[in-house]
Amino acid sequence: MSDVLIIGGGFAGVWAAAAAVRARHEAGADEQALRVTMVAPGDDLVIRPRLYEDDPQSKRVSLDRVLGPIGVRRVTATVTGVDTGTRTVTALGRDGSALELSYDRLVLAAGSRVVTPPVEGSQHLFDVDTMPAAARLDSHIGRLPVQPGGAERFTAVVIGGGFTGIEIATELPARLRKVAGGDLVRVVLVEREGAVGPELGPGPRPEIVAALEHAGVEVLLGVSLTSLDDTRVTLSDGTVIPTRTAVWTAGMRASRLTEQIDGSRDGIGRLEVDEYFRVVGVDGVYAAGDTAAATVEDGHVVMQSCQHAVPQGKFAGANVAADLLGLPQVAFAPNPYVTCLDLGPYGAVLTLGWDRRVAQKGPEAKQLKHSINSEWIYPPVDDAQAILKLADFRTTWPTEAVDAVS
């Protein structure tokens, strides 16, 4: 029997597991020939793209309900080491036990983490990167009414005006108003560069600026955070903003597990992979999702995004199974790149292509974002046939999504 071991139960890991099982079925092989195991610390697929919303604790799907019906073995543990020479992985079980897991092929899908800055008072920063962090922010907002009533109480400062910063900044005024009981609410978005959404380019910017204005978000450009405590932040130009809620959103880095693999890594720690998701130069190891720097259309490198993590997982899973079963592998070919950015009560903006041409905006794009966030990024549960159908690497978007962007 050959063992496929997948590290990580996020979008890439879940779809890698399902696609490996699908490929095994298609080859007419059974579990005696190829066993698929996932190791992840938690019991849920966390719907990370929704963690900027309120009630973040509900944004999860039970891994057992997705993987159980298709016979993927699950180990609840945090991987601490990868030895690519002996093909073993060490992990710490949830009960504190030390585990050793061997593999014939490894898929590293341990995702990414936001990197908080080394500024004085950084322990006071909130973020929306993980379920516990988003839950901490949510519960903090819920407790603001019992805090002393200075200007800092219902003021939030979001640091980082990229994708996540814009989504949380346009969402926060309504979330704060819900608890403020008519008191004044203030949200400030701080961006180091000279424009909001610097990486999103000029295409969607007019929509972003209009949405921030519509939500009453103040924007401070060309400044960064220098220090904070529990009642104020200080910015690089000396500005002091009273706040109890400073949310850090800038800078994602691939999981530190990538450093245990002797491949080359890009500036944000992602492993270089070939078109089949094999880590270049490391036998038996594949990487997918936010840990992998895969090349897509026109030589672009994938974004750390759910949109890319899902197809990467599907291709990596199908290829790892093909590799072990002696079948041909398939080169990565995801759907064309799009972005759909939530802009709070104003709506959303859908862009097409790497130059991000605006294709939909306002309520129409909001409806699309709603479908993406509430349906399309959720895997089917309790239904092996539906899960394996969607695990096909040829169907990386639902038909409605293809219609919406074509």
Ligand X SMILES: Cc1cc2nc3c(=O)[nH]c(=O)nc-3n(C[C@H](O)[C@H](O)[C@H](O)COP(=O)(O)OP(=O)(O)OC[C@H]3O[C@@H](n4cnc5c(N)ncnc54)[C@H](O)[C@@H]3O)c2cc1C
What residue ranges bind ligand X (CB under 6 A)? 7-13, 39-42, 48-49, 51-52, 78-79, 109-112, 128-129, 164, 255, 257, 289-290, 304-307, 309
Nearest approach in angstroms of CB 380 to ligand X is 17
List the structure tokens of 37: 């195991």
Nearer to ligand X, 122 or 305 (CB): 305
Nearer to ligand X, 231 or 253 (CB): 253
Phi and psi for 177 in degrees, rounded to 5? -60, -35
- Of 179, 133, 125, 203, the C-alpha closest to 157 is 125
Distances (CA, A) of 336 to 81, 244, 311: 35, 41, 11
User: Would you say 229 and 121 are in contact if contact means Cβ atoms under 8 Å apart?
Assistant: yes
What gap in Å lies between CA 308 and CA 300, rounded to an integer?
Answer: 12
Nearest approach in angstroms of CB 388 to ligand X is 19
Nearest approach in angstroms of CB 182 to ligand X is 29
The DSSP element (H or E) to which 109 belongs, if any, is none
User: Would you say 21 and 124 are in contact if contact means Cβ atoms under 8 Å apart?
Assistant: no
Phi and psi for 247 in degrees, rounded to 5? -110, 120
List the structure tokens of 190: 């701080």
Nearer to ligand X, 147 or 395 (CB): 395
Tell me the three state secondary structure of residue 351: strand
Spell out where 84-231 has E strands.
88-93, 98-102, 105-108, 112-114, 125-126, 155-159, 186-191, 218-221, 225-228
Nearest approach in angstroms of CB 58 to ligand X is 15
Nearer to ligand X, 137 or 232 (CB): 137
Nearer to ligand X, 255 or 319 (CB): 255
The amino acid sitting at 307 is Q
Q: Sign (positive/negative) of CA torsion 129, 287, 302, 372? A: negative
Q: Closest residue (Cβ) to ligand X?
A: 10
Nearer to ligand X, 126 or 154 (CB): 126
Nearest approach in angstroms of CB 227 to ligand X is 24
Nearer to ligand X, 14 or 152 (CB): 14
Nearest approach in angstroms of CB 244 to ligand X is 21
Nearest approach in angstroms of CB 152 to ligand X is 24
